[in-house]
Amino acid sequence: MDIRKKLEKQAFEVARNKMIDLYNEKLKHFESELKQINGEVSVNINQDLKGNLDFKNVNEDLRKRIIEYLK
């Protein structure tokens, strides 16, 4: 394999690894946001179980599904 092909292969590997790192970083951030949302929904559900049916931070579809589940 000539030098140019080796350099192209190395450049491709570096770019691929960088893309994987960026993807993993975005995935970690997304998972963190999901955990935060899950925590907020859990808090809302716990408050609602105490008799306060106020789903301010939950979208309408999810609110209906939760109410249906609690019945």
Q: How many domains does the chain have?
A: 1
Mean pLDDT to the nearest integer, 21-47: 78
pLDDT at 12 (0 to 100): 92
Domain that holds residue 47: 3-70
Mean residue pLDDT of the chain comes to 77
Give per-residue pLDDT as tens, 22-32: 988 888 888 88
* 54-65: average pLDDT: 66
Question: How many CA atoms lie within 13 Å of 51's alpha carbon, on the beta-carbon side?
Answer: 0
Distance CA 18, CA 10 (A): 12
Residue 52: the pLDDT is 55
DSSP string, the chain: --HHHHHHHHHHHHHHHHHHHHHHHHHHHHHHHHHHHHHHHHHHHHHHHTT----TTS-HHHHHHHHHHH-
